Homo-oligomer: A and B are copies of this chain.
């Protein structure tokens, strides 16, 4: 009962934040999207919108963090995995008609200067994501500094490509960005193999 309602609220928040941002999404809209009674929001999240948003960020972070193993585990190498991740993201974006990208970036830009606990929550998710990617690139033989730089760039490039793709309603942006990241990883791997 309750657990299902709570999860539905988090998921609805995630969807709406990514489509219309944090401040542009009201609690009543989240309740409606979750098909939950309005009072249940504060029952499950007594800390209010901030607490719900923190949970949304952490939950989204787990989903995005799981994308690394999904693309990197079976790939011939990390350059190909990188490209596949971007292609997968482009496909997902097309499938939802550019409505859904990443709720974390949307929230991050709004709260970075105004809500310290939420800024920290977004920073933590990004750091975790970068950490997972860095490990993969290191595991492929790249020096820690190079691996870290590529990981940071992967996340930056993908989040930025989402912005452009959503603005222009064109997923080719994400694929183009993926090609550049593919070549960057490819070049780093080749250089490390010398």
CB neighbours (8 Å) of A101 from chain B are 109
- Inter-chain CA distance A108–B159, complex, in Å, is 12
CB neighbours (8 Å) of A130 from chain B are 164
Is A87's CB within 8 Å of the partner chain B? no
Residue contact B168 to A161, C-beta cutoff 8 Å: no
CB neighbours (8 Å) of A162 from chain B are 160
Q: Contact partner of A110 among B21, B98, B119, B156, CB < 8 A?
A: B21
- Inter-chain CA distance A96–B3, complex, in Å, is 43
Residue contact B105 to A163, C-beta cutoff 8 Å: yes
Residue contact B126 to A113, C-beta cutoff 8 Å: no
- Inter-chain CA distance A173–B148, complex, in Å, is 10
Stoichiometry, copies per complex: 2
Q: Which of A74-95 contact B (CB under 8 A)?
A: none
CB neighbours (8 Å) of A114 from chain B are 19-20, 24
> Chain A interface mostly helix, strand, loop or mixed?
helix
Q: Would you give the 0/1 interface string for A1-27, flagging 1 where the beta carbon is closer than 8 Å to chain B? A: 000000000000000000111111000
Residue contact A126 to B167, C-beta cutoff 8 Å: yes
Q: Would you give the 0/1 interface string for A142-166, flagging 1 where the beta carbon is closer than 8 Å to chain B? A: 0000001110110111111111101
Residue contact A155 to B150, C-beta cutoff 8 Å: no
Residue contact A183 to B187, C-beta cutoff 8 Å: yes
- Binding-face segment, A32-40, A63-71, A174-182: A174-182
Residue contact B163 to A161, C-beta cutoff 8 Å: no
- Inter-chain CA distance A148–B177, complex, in Å, is 10
14 cross-chain CB contacts under 8 A: A21-B21, A21-B22, A22-B23, A99-B112, A105-B109, A105-B160, A109-B109, A123-B168, A153-B157, A157-B157, A159-B163, A183-B184, A183-B187, A184-B184
